[in-house]
Amino acid sequence: MVITLGDVFRRYGPAYRARWGSQLSSAQLAAMHAIEACRTEALGGQVYRCPHCDQVRYAYHSCRNRHCPTCQHDAAQDWLARQQDLLLPVPSFLVTFTLPAALRAIAFQHQAQVYDLFFRASAAALQQLAQDPRFLGGQLGMVGVLQTWTRDLRYHPHIHYLVPGGGLSADGRTWITARADFLVHVKPLAILFRAKLQAALRQTELWRSIPAEVWRQAWVVDCRPVGSGWTALKYLAPYVFRVALSNNRILGMADGEVTFRYQDGETRQTRISTLSAEAFIERFLQHILPKGFVKVRSYGLFRVGARQQLTRLRAQLILQQRKVELLPPDDERPEPDQHQDLRCPNCGQALRLERVLPRQRAPPDVQSVASREQRR
């Protein structure tokens, strides 16, 4: 029998709320009630009967809460179908910004405010570094997704950005292609991100609560290639709709405990964790986002106001790609002035290529060439 998060909440949720309900946010309480009622008679539904064997089947309605693993199971495919406009025919990268441990307690207490600044600072830092001519020199397109959990449900806020491998130059017409395996340097990006978030938090009432050492330690940013645009979107889709725990990871609940499996991030091995029901529910509720908070955001070339420009850019890149595909590979492509089967005018033997002279920017001076010939 498959055990769902709803089963856990229905059995242990009322006792948890009786003890800790006064400390829960309205979003957490709403999520608990929705998940408990999901696909039960509480939400109503339809009754079906077989005309042959008289078998009755009940189909109850879903809660559609964005934190419910039952409701979000198939949502990723629907999201993918709506993201065709973001596809560019270039390799893509996943850039991940992680909030340092010393800031996480403040982030959890002021989620909407800190998460919003987290988005703004990380997106601005990535865009600024990419626009620097020393790095890429162009404007990026970015889709960012906030995720707050580790595989074993601990609190670990980070943002994944899907970024095409290149940028649009300042003239708005020229596409600058990034290297296939490299987008930006992560060390200066982490420094710039830290500075921008520091400046943003300095303007808030939270500043006095932040330990000074957080601004002296190294911050973590990761950047890695993830394949083509479509491959990258499929890679990102689970992050958009994945909740902290899927139902198929729950292995059992008994004697006031819940057991679930997760994958170790370093070894990639499957591990088993057993927590008290209270600790399990507490870990899950850490990842309930504030009501109305937008966890998926677009920037640069991917922002809603730039969709017409993005459409033109996509057409331009597709055209360039098709032109390249029509040409033979570089090692098979003849030079326009290349003469085949050159022969020595004296003996008639085939001439062997010894070296290639670089192309000059301007025609050589005839007198200087003549004088060099005379010196020889």
229 or 28, greater pLDDT: 28
Same domain, 136 and 229: yes
> What is the band of 74 on the pLDDT scale with cuts at 50, 70, 90?
low
pLDDT-based confidence at residue 5 (cuts at 50, 70, 90):
very high
Per-residue pLDDT tens over the stretch 14-23: 999 999 999 9
Number of domains in the chain: 2
**Residues 91 and 176 grouped into a single domain:** yes
Q: Does 211 reside within a domain? A: yes
Give a yes or no: residue 28 inside a domain: yes
Rounded average pLDDT over 77-105: 87
- In a shared domain, residues 40 and 60: yes
Query: Does 375 reside within a domain?
Result: no
Is position 56 within any domain? Answer: yes
Do residues 61 and 96 both lie within one domain?
A: no
Residue 239: pLDDT band with limits 50, 70, 90: confident
Can you tell me which residue has the tokens 């499996």?
A: 261
Give per-residue pLDDT as tens, 268-322. 899 999 999 999 999 999 999 999 999 999 999 998 888 888 888 888 888 877 7
Query: In this model, does residue 130 exceed pLDDT 60?
Result: yes
Q: In this structure, are 55 and 89 located in the same domain? A: no
Residue 270 lies in a domain: no
| 59 vs 109, more confident | 109
Say which residue, 82 or 139, is predicted with more confidence. Answer: 139
Looking at residues 196-220, what average pLDDT do you find? 95
- Please give the pLDDT value at position 162: 93
Q: Give per-residue pLDDT as tens, 318-371.
A: 887 776 555 555 444 444 444 445 556 666 655 554 444 444 444 444 344 345
pLDDT score of 175 more than 70? yes
pLDDT band for position 135 (50/70/90)?
Answer: confident
Write the pLDDT tens digit of every residue in 27-64: 999 999 999 999 998 989 888 888 777 787 888 889 98
pLDDT for position 48: 85
Same domain membership, residue 115 and residue 44: no
pTM: 0.81
Are 17 and 119 within one domain?
no
Q: What is the pLDDT at residue 345?
A: 63
Q: How confident is the model at residue 211 (pLDDT cuts 50, 70, 90)?
A: very high
Q: Classify residue 55: in a domain, yes or no.
A: yes
The whole-number average pLDDT for the span 192-197 is 98
Mean pLDDT of the chain: 85
- For residues 31 and 139, state if they share a domain: no
pLDDT of res. 342:
59
Q: Are residues 87 and 213 in the same domain?
A: yes
Task: Provide the residue range defining the domain that includes 55.
Answer: 5-65+341-357
Same domain, 56 and 91: no
| pLDDT score at 360 | 43
If asked whether residues 41 and 106 sit together in one domain, one would say no
Claim to verify: residue 16 and residue 99 sit in the same structural domain: no
Alpha-carbon distances, residue 119 vs 90, 99, 125, 150, 200 (angstroms): 25, 11, 10, 19, 11
Residue 123 has pLDDT above 80, yes or no: yes
pLDDT of the residue at 56: 78
How many CB atoms are located within 10 Å of the residue 88 CB? 21
Asked whether residue 202 carries a pLDDT value surpassing 90, the answer given is yes
Predicted confidence (pLDDT) at residue 193 exceeds the cutoff of 60: yes
Per-residue buried b or exposed e for 300-321, using 16+ beta carbons within 10 Å of the residue's own CB = bbbeeebeeebeebbeebeeee
Q: Indicate the pLDDT class of residue 112, thresholds 50, 70 and 90.
A: very high
Is 272 among the domain residues? no
In a domain, 203, yes or no: yes
- In the predicted model, is pLDDT for residue 89 greater than 50? yes
